[in-house]
Amino acid sequence: MKIGLIGYGKMGKAIEEIVVERGHEVVLKVSHTPTPEELKDIDVAIEFSRPEYAYDNLKVLLESNTPTICGTTGWLDQQEEVNQLTLANNTAFLYASNFSLGVNLFFELNQQLARMMNKYRAEYNINLEEIHHTQKLDAPSGTAITIAEGIIDNTSYNNWSMEEQGESIIPIEAKRIENVPGTHIVQYTSEVDTIEISHTAHSRKGFALGAVIAAEWIADKKGVFSMKDVLELN
Ligand SMILES: NC(=O)c1ccc[n+]([C@@H]2O[C@H](COP(=O)([O-])OP(=O)(O)OC[C@H]3O[C@@H](n4cnc5c(N)ncnc54)[C@H](O)[C@@H]3O)[C@@H](O)[C@H]2O)c1
Ligand SMILES: O=C(O)C1=N[C@H](C(=O)O)CCC1
């Protein structure tokens, strides 16, 4: 497959290694919004750039009918427009806040635990913590938002916040420490004990591998997809 890398930073470079390992070819790597001309030989584009550029990049990619994988976080207020662009241009699009197999399994575990804990809301206080490297631009992480949404979908919590407190709000704490690829912790604490689930990434390799597997999967598809479709977690 001919892959275009839109955004060639820490993730772009980690993805390039996996693309080559799996027998594909990187035919474009850019750190700017691509032109339609630059996209003409690409089978699938993988977009990992910066929150403020993601929408412009996705618009050009989808209007050029390029099947697109997007891992950039922090742009989801424009998600509905991007989904519509995908359908209007009869192409394919997949966004994931986290492409690693481990985190996608963790998302499922988080929802199961949330369903169990909902009966015991009076006994346990919830807390969600994410820790990332100091260059990360957005907070909370996209992964933490997906975890919070998974809890909201399965309990009587109805919002998350990094500042506000309240009965129905999931508090999220975002910490920044040098060189941490990504850690997420969900804690339920009562007067007498704590139940905790956590996921710790040891490197960016899991994110990169998941993104390339998603690119292989989407190449012949049309529509808007998620990692649940790729990993058959539905
Ligand atoms: N979904 C996941 O699994 C996952 C995993 C890791 C990181 N991320 C997200 O991916 C994004 C990138 O992360 P990173 O660690 O590679 O960041 P990074 O800062 O190392 O790389 C971003 C790159 O984008 C380039 N860039 C700047 N303007 C651009 C433009 N207009 N178009 C294209 N590229 C442009 C920058 O020059 C830089 O090289 C972040 O939003 C991060 O949160 C997602
Ligand atoms: O390094 C980052 O930036 C990461 N971003 C994603 C997020 O915001 O959840 C995934 C984890 C690493």
**Structure tokens belonging to residue 192:** 């007498």
Substitution site in 69, 199, 207 for ligand 2 pocket (most atoms within 8 Å of beta carbon)? 207
- pLDDT category at 102 given cuts 50, 70, 90 is very high
Is 222 annotated as catalytic? no
Mind listing the pLDDT tens digit for each residue in 150-209? Answer: 999 999 999 999 999 999 999 999 999 999 999 999 999 999 999 999 999 999 999 999
Mind listing the pLDDT tens digit for each residue in 60-90? Answer: 999 999 999 999 999 999 999 999 999 999 9
- Name the DSSP class of 33: P
Domains along the chain?
A: 2-99+205-231 (3.40.50.720), 101-200 (3.30.360.10)
CA of 40: how far to CAs of 2, 37, 64, 144, 215, in Å? Answer: 11, 6, 8, 36, 17
- The reply to whether 10 sits in an annotated binding site is no
Decide if pLDDT at 234 tops 80. no
Please give the mean pLDDT across all residues of the chain: 97
Task: State in Å, rounded, how far the first CA of the chain is from the last one.
Answer: 27
pTM for the model stands at: 0.97
Q: Which residues contact 189 (CB under 8 A, 6 or more apart)?
A: 124, 125, 127
What is the complex's ipTM, to 2 decimals? 0.99
Mind listing the pLDDT tens digit for each residue in 118-148? Answer: 999 999 999 999 999 999 999 999 999 999 9
How long is the chain? 234
Catalytic-role residue among 2, 10, 136, 221 = 136
Q: Which run of H or E residues covers position 79?
A: helix 79-88
Substitution site in 110, 141, 146, 149 for ligand 2 pocket (most atoms within 8 Å of beta carbon)? 141
Average pLDDT of the segment spanning 211-233 = 97
Mind listing the pLDDT tens digit for each residue in 17-41? Answer: 999 999 999 999 999 999 999 999 9
